[in-house]
Amino acid sequence: MSQPMETVVDRYIALIDRAVHEPAVLEELGSVFAPDVVVQLEDFEPVAGLAAIKDFYRRFYESAGDGRHFWNTTLLDDGRLEVHFLAAGRTPDGQLVARSGIEHATVNAEGLITHLTAKAVDLDV
C-alpha cells in the first residue's frame, strides 16, 4: 500500500489547526507561504503579503474556539493542489460548528504557496 505524500498545503492546515491554542505558530507561516502570497478565504477581501496574512490569521483566531480540520489533498493536472476539507469545532460560548469546503493552492518552484483560495459552507450540527 502506498503512503500519501505530504504537501505544503498539508503543512499549512496543520499549522492553522495549532494556531487556535498556539498563536506563536503563525510565525511559521513563512515556511509554507511565499513572501508575495495572496490568500482569498471565502468572502473576505483578498490578503496579500506574508506580514498581512499573519496579521489576518492572528485576528481571526483571537476569538476562535477549539477546532480541527480533516482533509484530503489532490494534485490536479494543472499543477495546483486541491483540498477537500471538513472543519469541526466548538465556539468560545460552547456551540458546535462544522464547515465543509474546497481550497486551491498554487505552489512556486521553491515549494511555497503563492495563491490560496477557499470556499466553504456551514453544516448542520
Q: Dig out the grid coordinates for 66 from the structure.
A: 477549539
> What average pLDDT does this structure show over 23-43?
95
**118 part of a folded domain:** yes
The amino acid that residue 116 corresponds to is L
Q: Phi first, then psi: what are they for 82, rounded to 5°? A: -115, 130
54-91 pLDDT, tens digit per residue, is 999 999 888 788 999 999 999 999 999 999 999 999 99
CATH at residue 21? 3.10.450.50
DSSP string, 68-96: EEEEEEEE-TTS-EEEEEEEEEE-TTS-E
Q: Which helix (H) or strand (E) holds 39?
A: strand 33-41
Number of domains in the chain: 1
pLDDT value, residue 4? 55
88-119 pLDDT, tens digit per residue, is 999 999 999 999 999 999 999 999 999 999 99
Residue 39 reports pLDDT greater than 50: yes
Closest residue by Cα to residue 84 from 121, 115, 109, 43: 121
- Expressed as residue numbers, the domain containing 12 is 8-122
